Every structure is written in C-alpha cells, then in structure tokens.
Amino acid sequence: MGRRRTAWWRTTRAQGGDRTPVAEAAAVRRVGVVRPVGARVGRTPRRGLVRRAGVLAAVLCATVALAGQPATAAGAPGSYGYDKSDKAVDGATGTADAVGLNPGGTYRSSLPKGAGLYYGLTLDAVSDVYVSVTAVPPAGATVAATDGIRVSLRNAAGAGCTHQSATFGASRSPHPVAAWAARETGRALCKGSGQYYVLVERVDASGSSSDTWGLELTVVSEPPLTRAGTSDAPQVWDSASPEPVTGEARSRAGGPGFAGAVAVGQGVWRGDIAPGGTLFYKVPVDWGQQLSVTADLESSNAGAGYVSRALDLALYNPVRASVDETGVSYQGGPRSAALEALPPVEYRNRYFVVDHESGMRFAGSYYVVVHLAAQVADDFGQGPFPVTLRVRVAGTAHGGPGYAGRADPRNVFDVTAQDRTAAVTGGGGGGGTAMKVLAVAGIGAGSVLLATLGGWTVAARRRAAVQ
C-alpha cells in the first residue's frame, strides 16, 4: 500500500410454581413493597410495577445513549481493527524462547524499533503454510520511505524458506503494512516436518520515530491435493486490462482492518476516507473467476499543492499475502489507480514468478485496501474525501482442485453462500456494522421492556380475577 515490496521465491523463498399467598408475599418483598400483615396480596402492586418499569427504562436509555455515541470511523488515521479473537503473544529475541504459533490462529504482538523477533511453528510434512504479518504504526508516528517490516520463515537449521519486505514508500505516510512468508513443501530447503521459525524485523528504522508498532500475525495451512497435477503455470490467460465497471455508485463504508473488512461484489462502491486513513474491503472470488479493481479519488475544491503517492490501492489474497499494489499522486484533480491485469484464480498460478500472477492461487476472499496519505491534509484539508471502487468479477466459477484434507482455518479457500450474500448486502465489520449492532441492541431492549411490562400487566389482571 504505497510501498515497494521485495520478495525472493526461487532460492530463499482462526419459574414456575404455585401462586400461594406466601409466594406472592415473597414476590412483593422482592420489589420493595411492604404490606400490612393479613393484607391481600392477590394484586400486583402498582408501585412494584412502576419500579420495575423504571429499572428497565433506565437500561433502555443507557443502551440508546450508547447507540447514539459517535463510533470511531473505520479507517481513521492511526486506527486498525484487530481481530477480536487474536491471542496475545510476545516475540522472542532468539529461537530458544520463541512462542509457538498454530495454523488457523491469529495473534497480536508488538515490534519495538530496531528489534527482530522470533515466533515458532511446528509443521507437518505435507501442508503448505502461510504466515502474514501486519505492522501497525501508532497515530502520529514518523516513518521513512524505506521503513517497514521484513518477514522470513526458516527451518530449524536457520536456512530460509521465503521472505518478503513491505515499506511505506514515497508518501512516508504511516499506515498498516503487511508482508508474508511461506513454507511450501515443493521447495528443497523446507521439506519435512519439524520445527520452523518466523522472524519479523524492522526494515530500516533510520529517519523514523522510536515508536513501538503493533503486529497482527495470521497462520494458514493448505492441505495437499488428492491427486498431484501439473507443476506448470497456465500458458494462456486474458491479460488485457478490462474496462472499469460503470454505473451508479452505492455507498459502502470500508472496514478498519483485515478481520473487519467489509464485503463488496461486482459493481461501483463509494466510501469516504480521511487523510491518513485506511479502508479494508473484501471480494469473494471463486475458482476460475477473474478480478479487476480500480479506485477513483475525486477532485477537491479546497487548497492546492502536490502529494506524491497520495492514493494507494493494494490487493491481498485469502492468506493476506500481497498480490499487487499501485498508487497515484494528487494535485486536487480526479485521479484513478488500477491494479495490474490479474489471471483467473487457479491452483496452478502458484507456479508463476511475479506476485500479481502467483498470488491468485486460491479461491476465497480477496482484500482490497485503500490508503490516503496523511500529507493530503496539509494541502487540501481534513476531508473526508470520496473514493470510488470499481470492482469486476468476470468468468464462470468451477470446482476446486480437490484437496486431500481441510484447510485451517476452515473455509478460507471457499466462497460460501454467505460470502455471496454479504457482497451484495455488505457486512464483515467496520463502523457501519458496529452501529447496526448497537441499533439492534437498542431495538431489542425496547422490545424486552414492552414485552415485560405487557407480561406483568396480564399476570396482574389474571391474579386479580382469581381473587
């Protein structure tokens, strides 16, 4: 996302009971009403009913007040939506003390300036395993163009399997950046079961502030195929850049992180972004389908100036591995950023050499990440600025390659009916979802209040009739 990536793949590459007078009297006492001895208790006291109603009304008011509070905007500068199921782990300065990570798990850690941290992995002999690390600088951090992270995966002897770097690039705008590494069983250096290690390092801390960055780590395992296929990349695919999708834009606010990415499908989608903010979307792409994405930044009537690499557009595959990225500068006029032409999703794409082809190796949710450089605010104000995504998913879906086992986490390489529905209706996290939850909570609390009061009233009338 606005940064240069480097990867080396060839060589070092988650109550019943009877209503007796005693029971009624006990019920009366519970609501704080004291009756004279011998007094009738067949009717529910109005004071008790009013008090109960007051308690529930207070709860309802509190819930509505909570729903009315302004939520933190998705993609706000310095914010990142970590997965709520992340397990906290500490990286070690050496392999001896490295905490073990498990396939299917998501983890939260931190990376001080100048540090290199190890995490352990115990792997079988047959599964390909992918580790993605998202680095999150805090709000107000200063970063250099070459600052970033480097992620490598090594065997017990210290030999490298793969490694990749991600940097902030020319905009020098702090935002989440992600890099990944893999253990691929077909590569000579990393065959066999046993102990492996993930090493996360700062690429170049010179010129940046001494902040500690947050980290989110994910581990995904891919089972082998039932029947081995060809180990060659597809020879022919339509590499012509498709025309951007046209039509009326629908509003779809982006999410604050990978875990809360908001689903979109084919169409034109519009969201607002503030300078320094990052928006996360996800697109379900099945086997045989071809994805293309363009991001449009609208013109501004406020201010003037020039911002290098102002808008960044990045694509990650279902294991959060980088596929492609691009960016454009901004001078106040409309600008568009488009991803490279991408091949249809096929298992065999892994045998391509370049990332934007080899990364399209799984079906599942592909992540579209949009970042607006913080420096835009200096020349054009705080915004927010409208961004339009034009998403195309072409081609007919077909069956998968036939895995001899289950991926971990489950369904990570599937496109489900729920995924397709979410792409139409929106979902998957973000401020919009949070507000929907609060709204439902408020409506639910109101429904409970009305239902409870109604129940008490009916019960009181029945007891009065019996008396």
Q: What is the pLDDT along the chain (467 residues), one digit of tens a residue?
A: 545 454 444 333 333 344 343 343 343 333 333 333 344 334 444 445 444 444 434 433 433 333 333 334 556 666 899 999 999 999 999 999 999 999 999 999 999 998 999 999 999 999 999 999 999 999 889 999 999 999 999 999 998 999 999 999 888 999 999 999 999 998 888 989 999 999 999 987 778 899 999 999 999 999 999 998 788 999 889 888 888 999 999 999 999 999 999 999 999 999 999 999 999 999 999 999 999 999 999 998 888 899 999 999 999 999 999 999 999 999 999 999 999 999 999 999 999 999 999 999 999 999 999 999 999 999 999 999 999 999 999 999 999 999 999 999 999 999 999 999 999 998 763 333 333 333 333 334 444 433 444 454 445 455 544 44
pLDDT at 241: 85
Between CA 117 and CA 99 the distance in angstroms is 10
Residue 228, CA atoms < 13 Å, CB-side half-sphere: 5
Between CA 14 and CA 87 the distance in angstroms is 10
Q: How far, in Å, are 225, 231, 413, 446 from residue 399 at the CA level?
A: 13, 19, 12, 47
What is the C-alpha end-to-end distance of the chain, expressed in Å? 75
- Alpha carbon dihedral 164, 165, 170, 175, in 10-degree steps, equals 110
Which of these, 7, 143, 52, 3, lies nearest to 460 by C-alpha position?
52
pLDDT at 205: 72
Contacts of 340 (CB under 8 A, 6+ apart): 324, 326, 356
Alpha helices in 270-416 (DSSP H): 355-358, 376-380
Name residue 41's amino acid.
V
Between CA 194 and CA 156 the distance in angstroms is 8
Q: How far is CA 178 from the centre of its chain?
A: 12
Between CA 137 and CA 278 the distance in angstroms is 12
Q: What angle do CA 444, 446, 452 make, to 5 degrees?
A: 100
Residue 110: CB atoms within 10 A of its CB come to 16
Residue 58: CB atoms within 10 A of its CB come to 10
Asked if 54 contacts 413 with a C-beta cutoff of 8 angstroms, the reply is no
Sign of CA dihedral 306, 310, 311, 316: positive
Which of these, 379, 411, 381, 394, lies nearest to 308 by C-alpha position?
379
pLDDT at 260: 96
- Partnered with residue 292 across adjacent β-strands are 392
Between CA 296 and CA 282 the distance in angstroms is 17
Q: What is the pTM of this model?
A: 0.79
Among all chains, which residue has been given the structure tokens 């960055």?
A: 213
In our burial notation (b when 16+ CB lie closer than 10 A, e otherwise), range 188-227 reads ebbeeeeebbbbbbbbbbeebeebebbbbbbbbbbbbeee
- Partnered with residue 163 across adjacent β-strands are 8, 152
pLDDT at 11: 35
Q: Is 204 helix (H, G, I), strand (E, B) or coil?
A: coil
Sign of CA dihedral 169, 292, 419, 184: negative
Between CA 458 and CA 306 the distance in angstroms is 70
Strand 106-111 to 87-88 pairing: parallel
Which of these, 71, 64, 66, lies nearest to 443 by C-alpha position?
64
Contacts of 289 (CB under 8 A, 6+ apart): 344, 345, 393, 394, 395, 396, 397
Between CA 154 and CA 56 the distance in angstroms is 58
Between CA 261 and CA 271 the distance in angstroms is 13
Instruction: Give the start-end residues of each E strand in 364-415.
Output: 364-372, 385-394
Residue 247, CA atoms < 13 Å, CB-side half-sphere: 13
